[in-house]
A and B are shown apart, each in its own frame.
Chain A
Amino acid sequence: MKFDLEWLREYLETDADADTLAERLTHCGLLVETRDEVDSTEVWDIEVTTNRPDAMNHRGLAREAAVAVKGRLKTLQHELEETTESAQELAAVEIRDPDLCSRYVARVIRGVRLIPSPQWLQDRLERCGVRPINAIVDATNYVLLETGQPLHAFDLDRLAGRRIVVRRANAGEILETLDGLERKLETDDLVIADAERAVALAGVMGGADSEIGDTTIDVLLESAHFDALSVRRSARRFAIHTEASHRFERGADPEMAPVAADLAARLIAELTGAKVCRGQIDVCPKPWKPTDHEFGISALGRFAGLEISASEVERILAGLEFAPRLDGDRVICTPPSFRGDIERTADLYEEIIRHVGYEAIPAELPILGTPPGRRHPNWQLIDRGRDAAVRAGLAEVVTWAFIEPQVDRRLEDWPLCPGKSVSLVNPLASTQAVMRRSLVPSLLGAARETLNQGERSLALFEQGRVFSVDHEGEMHERERLALVLSGGGAGWPGVDRVGFSELKGVVENILRDTAFPDIGWRRGGAPWLEQSEGAELVDAAGRVIGVCGRLGSEEAARWGLKQDLLVAELDLDAAAAEPVLPKFRPLPRFPAITADMTIEHQLDLPYSEIEAAVWDLAGERIEKVSMEARYSGKGLPAGHVRSTLRLVYRHPDRSLTQEEVNEAQEGLRSALSGRFDVQFT
């Protein structure tokens, strides 16, 4: 909020210069964000937090400043000259709903003229961001910025029956507000009405019908106190935000209404040459009642971590108008009407501590019997996955968790789809309307953007949650890790273009590092993945815990991807909670002998079955089997392939001879031919 320094100083007795004032205000909780020199004064933009409506005006801020710089707040003079004619005889006020309006003060001013206000007043308003309109409206705004009390001027002649009725609106009642819009009211809205119809939305905005204009002679000035919640609900429903609603919503001062009415009436009379009628019409069905609070000074000291003297406590509370009474260690005080935010002891502690200054409190680490901190298993799990992906050379990205409904629908076919999707009621955009059920679409979008930037190689991953809802309405969140490879991938040596083999290598490393249990691979993932290069990963119970393969051409086309992409997604929640500690195996003491075996077989005999058979048949003699080479094409019948396996033979207690290995190879060959339709070359 904007404040005029020269204006502020009118309420303040102090020798403090502007720098000191700004610094001390900042230290007591009113952050001076910017300072601009304008003419002979400075305009300060101060952040006033929502709990402090009392400081959203010059006088209230001056009160804080007086305590902060140990100065004095000047008393407010609001005497005024009145005519003999009584306001009570010219107008009447009735409050029908006292739960929403605890007090309504009106004054009548006769003989106004619609002229501009003087330059000094216009300047002050403009410095505070308020547009000058005419002397009458400007006067009400001026007093608002001075005291925080919102005021409204009605054209008295345009109030039917010269009567103010404060009541809930009738259902469907129409009010044209000052901004020219017709508002259809509900029974929750509090209105100011005349004898016939609503003329203002209470505490929010006046009505066009009763607005003062060129023909206005007599003015009824409203200075009232409305319920914060009621004003807030109306203002929100109609999306109106005014200086008045801003203050009422946060809680105005119930005792300020009569004072502000006098100040504004006096100012209007001065500016326009009008006369103020005798007396106020003051209807107050629910007078404000003060409450006493009590606390101990020593308890305050323990809470703060600093002993605070009784005289300092007294100075601060007195300056804030809390009327402190001291009795030994006990303090009894009465928060003023403008401090509705003070409800309990902690609130009083805060008032004192912030004026003592946070900087005055010595920093002291708590003494703790402290066991070492422990990370939630969920964090351990997802960081294991993250570390594994980084170790594989991938770069982490973070993307938004919402996706397009259209893409979401296609995820029904994704083998790792967790259930029904969760939609946002109020998305920012229709393309961000559903919480994602897979990380893959976000990564495809990211991949497309990056490739469009001219990148050739991709190796990226994301770790994050996917969301779903079951038929009972229960929400579910699962931790996932997804990755995308393309072009040269992460720049692995000897790899020009990544294929399924590189993808599987990365996925296998991540599975191992993240401590997944035994995982089986089976064909799957279409139509998202190419049928020929798609796999589902299943755990021992047959649940799909991962998907992995080349992005299908149809899906790639939908995303506008021209370059081949390999994708994978893993359900991290399926991994073990704790990784198993590796167990040491004695290093071999005798040399190994390596022998190759080339097997010609049909393509539909998977390598995994051949390898399993090798282990089954020769497991006690070998320590390692690997795929050395694979050949198909010229010289081989269609549908045939030649696989060269490399076997490492080793005996734990002695050196093997070549003859023994040859013999073992021979035995293995004949055993394999007994099991499969294979030939050896």
Chain B
Amino acid sequence: MGVARLDEVRAAFLEDLGQAGKDASAVEAVRVKYAGRRSGLLLDLTAALRDLPKEERRDYGRALNDLKQDIGKCLDEAREASISGAAAPQDMVDISLPGMALTRGAEHPVNLVRRKIEEIFLRMGYDVEAGPEIEDDWHNFEALNIPSDHPARDDHDTFYVTGDRLLRTHTSPVQARVMENRKPPIRIIVPGKVYRRDSDLRHSPMFHQIEGLLVDEGISFGNLKATLETFLHALFSGHGVDVRFRPSYFPFTEPSAEVDITCIFCGGSGCAVCSRSGWIEILGSGMVDPRVFERVGIDSERYTGFAFGLGLDRVAMLMYGIPDLRQLFSGDQRLTRQFA
């Protein structure tokens, strides 16, 4: 007896274990032979400690401990390796079966887009404003430099309701309302429903816009460009879009700019979505026309500002590849559930 005996046992154990391989029952037999609680070899080796001369006990004890640990560790590993062959087939879960279908709720794509946009502008310090959907002529048109008989009213086929009220044709009246009641600096965006008397593949009598306005001293056209570029890069992050500003006309801005992004479907090389132009018109913008400032009581000598607006439905259609505007308002939960 002595440390040499421990080495012999170690060698024998390793050989036995090697022969057991991945057979779980053979591994178990090896465990019983060496580490069994009733008759395992390790018990004998422990008992032998008492019979050793005092001066050998320390070395032997230490070596025995090492051996016990090694055997335990090797057995654990061997058992783990053999597990796949261990369980009886009838106890196995078919892990390829689908999980329990815990349906999640889903938000409408238009609202998903609205919140994305709100998030971007909130971070830039803009407030999110709200206003009535049944408007008066002043806020919807006059205050925005669209007097009656203005040709621009042709683009706003308007629903009228009882009395002299109308369904707002854009979210811009909220701009006018905020400017009437607040002193610059003003930084707002206004999402919401708008209505136009038009219904075909590309038009719905009800749709959604989001509007933005910044008024302060010394605001320049360069500021407008940077703000909208920042916004569009954030909104279409992942597409790496280029942004193009084109002169255009809106009665409430001067100068006005249409803003295009490179087509997110073809990357600008031209496809059916962008009518082969490589560009997609995404928003309208411009420097606030001084006449609008005068109508809402803001000093047009002291302040300048910019405004912009875009269709939420259109952005949702672009982002998610929805071809038909009216499908957004079909009330079909199967459309929404695709965006859960």
Contact = CB atoms under 8 A, between A and B. Distances in A.
Interface of A: 26-29, 31, 33-34, 49-52, 229, 232-233, 249-250, 302-306, 344-347, 349-350, 353-354, 358-359, 361-366, 368, 370-376, 378-379, 383, 386, 389-402, 422-428, 432, 435, 442-443, 445-447, 449-450, 453, 455, 458-460, 462, 464-465, 467, 469, 473, 475, 477, 490-493
Interface string B125-162: 11111101110000000000000010110100001111
Nearest to B257: A358
B102 A395 contact: no
B206 interface: yes
Contacts, number: 256
**Interface residues on chain B, size class:** 35 or more
A444 B65 CA distance: 76
Contacts of B16: none
A395 B159 contact: no
A52 B250 CA distance: 12
Contacts of B289: 346
B334 interface: yes
10 contacts: A303-B287, A344-B291, A350-B247, A363-B222, A370-B124, A383-B115, A398-B110, A428-B205, A449-B332, A475-B134
B232 to A, nearest CB: 11
A366 B216 contact: yes
Given A373-B128, A424-B161, A386 B107 contact: yes
Contacts of A353: 221, 247, 255
A363 B162 contact: no
A617 B50 CA distance: 70
Contacts of B248: 29, 31, 49
B199 interface: yes
Nearest to A394: B105
A373 B127 CA distance: 4
B254 interface: yes
A609 to B, nearest CB: 34
Most buried by B among A344, A359, A376: A376
Nearest to A358: B245
Nearest to A475: B134
Given A361-B221, A395-B340, A428-B197, A373 B162 contact: no
B33 interface: no
Interface of B: 100-108, 110-111, 115, 118, 121-130, 132-134, 149, 151-152, 154, 159-163, 165, 167, 185, 187, 191, 193, 195, 197, 199, 204-206, 214, 216, 218-223, 225-227, 229-230, 244-249, 251, 254-258, 275, 277, 287, 289-291, 304, 328-337, 340
Contacts of A51: 249, 251
A396 B333 CA distance: 7
Given A229-B149, A477-B133, 11 more contacts: A50-B249, A303-B220, A350-B254, A358-B245, A361-B221, A366-B216, A373-B122, A390-B104, A460-B336, A467-B134, A491-B102
Contact of B105 (A27, A390, A493): A390
A362 B224 CA distance: 10
Contacts of B247: 27-29, 350, 353-354, 358
A392 B214 contact: no
A359 B105 contact: no
Contact of B246 (A31, A372, A386, A432): A31
8 tightest CB-CB pairs across the interface, nearest first?
A: A305-B222, A446-B331, A29-B247, A370-B125, A49-B249, A350-B255, A390-B105, A305-B220
